[in-house]
Amino acid sequence: MGKSESPAQSVLSYIKANKIEFVDFKFMDFPGQWQHFTVPSSELKEDSFENGFGFDGSSIRGWKSINESDMLIIPDPTTLFADPFIIAPTISLTCDVVEPATKEKYARCPRSIAQKADAYLKSTGLADTAYFGPEAEFFIFDDARFDSGPNFSFYSVDSIEGKWNSGREENPNLAYKPRYKEGYFPVPPTDKLTDLRNEMVRNLINVGIDVEAQHHEVASGGQCEIDMKFKPLLRAADQLLMFKYVIKNTATKNNKTVTYMPKPIFGDNGSGMHVHVSLWLKGKPLFAGSGYAGLSEMALYFIGGILKHAPALLALTNPTTNSYKRLVPGFEAPVNLAYSQRNRSASVRIPMYSTSPKAKRVEFRCPDPSCNPYLAFSAILMAGLDGVMNRIDPGNPLDKDIYDLSPEELKDVPSTPESLGHALKALEADHDFLLKGNVFTEDVIETWIKYKIDKEIKPMALRPHPHEFELYFDV
């Protein structure tokens, strides 16, 4: 950006200098999918960043009714990136959604909720920046088929890496398929996805995302992880959507497909999204101290807030029925609401890779990448701040391997909800902490709960499950 240029003018200069033909506007729907529409670059003017562009809000999930459908998107000029997947030279801009009559930000726009969470944090005087570092795991498949009708239902996913293909005729089958739960860090040729992940990393870097590492993950059948550098809340959520967009499109260009479903494969690890969080004030980290695991009192109270509100939080951080196929007792996913240093079986972990105060953070391990990051990150922040402001004691840490504890030792350790329905009931009963600063509204909470029940829980409850035929057909 030139010295005298505003962010909006900088976008227009970029368009001219790079002969950009189209501008793609991206915005977030309520459940958590990026939406978009495109205009010729000549349609983008300096006043477009104030006046916006109109669209039909009634066609977006969880939003307006047909009689109040007109909405506006306002592009954010600081979110520009050149889209590497569209043939014509195209830039992408992430947008806020506003009411056309008042130009007020739409209360159900997830991005506006994240902006209000940021503003609320600053208003407390406790901190001015909340950094978030999500680790979104995903599966790369060679084939994914699924369908459901009145008299049938099936899904089938496949991967050249899948251990289930060890005996398949592949003309020839060259073996080296990761064993179940042994996919963490094997070198090629067992890891067959290194080149593809490198291409993904290259594309991520080219759109402005700082990447720390990439690797194969635990599960057989193409589970992977690419780690991004932490960013302030709003930017972290924007970046996670860019991340998913780049990963999916890079895979598609290589004739593969990516899913962020938490549990697409039975009997092996699911995909989580561990979320690292820290609070800062005037450039100084606030979570480093002399307490347990080198934490400050603020950090411990922040953990207390997360643990207290975790059942309600999961309705936003683990928002699908499939999420609770991953969060099952006795497996690697953290279902016990406890905290610990280094212990990956705790739902809140304090990473101990570095002793630097700047690296001190807490890691909430329950979330998964099916979530809407604007809602999930905002809710995590609000829960933690409630802990700080009300000095919520997180209790004693649990430094033992939780999975080796006896039932007697485990009986006093609370657990995550068993299903999305249970999480939604927890959110219904416990959401006052989300309403502070008008970050979330009663309308948002009520609409979220109703949408999830009507569109996901009830349809799932009505359909016979294929495994039920295995269990009950001969009764």
Residue 432 and residue 87: Cα distance in Å, rounded?
A: 47
Residue 134 and residue 115: Cα distance in Å, rounded?
A: 18
Residue 312 and residue 421: Cα distance in Å, rounded?
A: 11
**Tokens standing for 337?**
């609401």
Torsion over CA of 364, 375, 226 and 156, rounded to 10 degrees? 100
Give the type of residue at 97.
V
Q: Annotated catalytic, 217? A: yes
Catalytic residue among 142, 344, 422, 430: 344
Q: Annotated catalytic, 137? A: yes
Q: Annotated catalytic, 135? A: yes
Catalytic residue among 76, 96, 225, 268: 225
Question: Rounded to 5 degrees, what angle do the CA atoms 46, 101, 123 make?
Answer: 80
Q: Would you say 82 and 207 are in contact if contact means Cβ atoms under 8 Å apart?
A: yes
Eight-state DSSP code of residue 130: E
Rg (CA), the chain: 23
Helix, strand and coil content of the chain, in percent to the nearest 5, comes to 40, 20, 40
Question: Is 106 exposed, middle or buried, given 0-12, 13-18 or 19+ CB atoms closer than 10 A?
Answer: buried
Q: How many CB atoms lie within 10 A of CB 8?
A: 19
Question: Rounded to 5 degrees, what angle do the CA atoms 461, 462, 464 make?
Answer: 95
Q: Annotated catalytic, 274? A: yes
* DSSP per-residue letters across 141-196: ESEEEEEEETTEEEEEEE-TT-GGGTT---SS-----PPTT--SSPPTTT---HHH
Catalytic residue among 197, 326, 365, 431: 365
Task: Provide the b/e sequence for 62-73 (b: ≥16 CB within 10 Å).
Answer: bbbeeeeeebbb
Residue 155 and residue 175: Cα distance in Å, rounded?
A: 25
Q: Which residues contact 4 (CB under 8 A, 6 or more apart)?
A: none
Interstrand relation of 348-350 and 339-341 (parallel, antiparallel or unpaired) = parallel
Catalytic residue among 83, 363, 386, 456: 363
Q: Which residue has the tokens 């195209």?
A: 90
For the chain, the residue count is: 475
Catalytic residue among 29, 76, 137, 456: 137
Catalytic residue among 197, 274, 309, 431: 274
Q: Annotated catalytic, 363? A: yes
The phi and psi torsions of 324 (rounded to 5 degrees) equal: -90, 0
Q: Which residue has the tokens 């496949």?
A: 158
Interstrand relation of 22-28 and 90-98 (parallel, antiparallel or unpaired) = parallel
Catalytic residue among 191, 217, 227, 456: 217
Catalytic residues: 56, 135, 137, 217, 225, 274, 344, 363, 365
